[in-house]
């Protein structure tokens, strides 16, 4: 799932990233700048360091998904429970009338 891929981009420093892949620090910084301008990552400064992280849309998507999930589930719960309640009402009445 694409949003999970984005979600997996953690906050990190360009030089940390450069230690792990075969590109130079300036190249990574340049790409991060482009990504920042494109709105895909956020930049934060801590002293002389710049920290980057993926923007939180993916977590918002997850939240929206779960909100819909519970809304739909609770609507169905209401329907099913009310059906059972009506049925038990009828059977109570029937048994009262019968006995």
Cβ neighbours of residue 25 under 8 Å, at least 6 residues apart? 14, 15, 18
Give the closest residue to 57 by CA, choosing from 97, 5, 7.
7
Calpha distance 13→10 (Å, rounded): 10
Q: Which of 26, 44, 79, 92 binds another protein (CB under 8 A)?
A: 79
Q: According to CB under 8 A, which residues from 12 to 51 bind another protein? A: 12-13, 16-17, 19-21, 23, 28, 30-31, 33-35, 37-38, 40-41, 51
The rounded Cα 4 to chain-centroid distance in angstroms is: 8
- What's the closest the beta carbon of residue 81 comes to another protein, in angstroms? 4
Q: Does 76 bind another protein (CB under 8 A)?
A: yes
How big is the CA angle at 36 (ends 31 and 40), to the nearest 5 degrees? 100
Interface ranges with another protein (CB under 8 A): 4-13, 16-17, 19-21, 23, 28, 30-31, 33-35, 37-38, 40-41, 51, 53-54, 56, 58-59, 62-63, 66-67, 70-71, 73-82, 84-85, 88
């Amino acid at each position: 799932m694409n949003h999970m891929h984005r979600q997996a981009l953690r906050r990190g420093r360009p030089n940390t990233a450069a230690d792990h892949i075969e590109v130079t620090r300036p190249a990574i910084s340049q790409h991060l700048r482009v990504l920042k301008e494109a709105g895909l990552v956020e930049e934060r400064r801590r002293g002389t360091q710049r920290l980057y992280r993926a923007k939180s849309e993916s977590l918002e998507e997850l939240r929206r998904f779960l909100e819909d999930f519970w809304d739909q589930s609770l609507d169905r719960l209401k329907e099913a429970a009310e059906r059972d309640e009506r049925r038990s009402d009828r059977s109570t009445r029937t048994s009262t009338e019968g006995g």
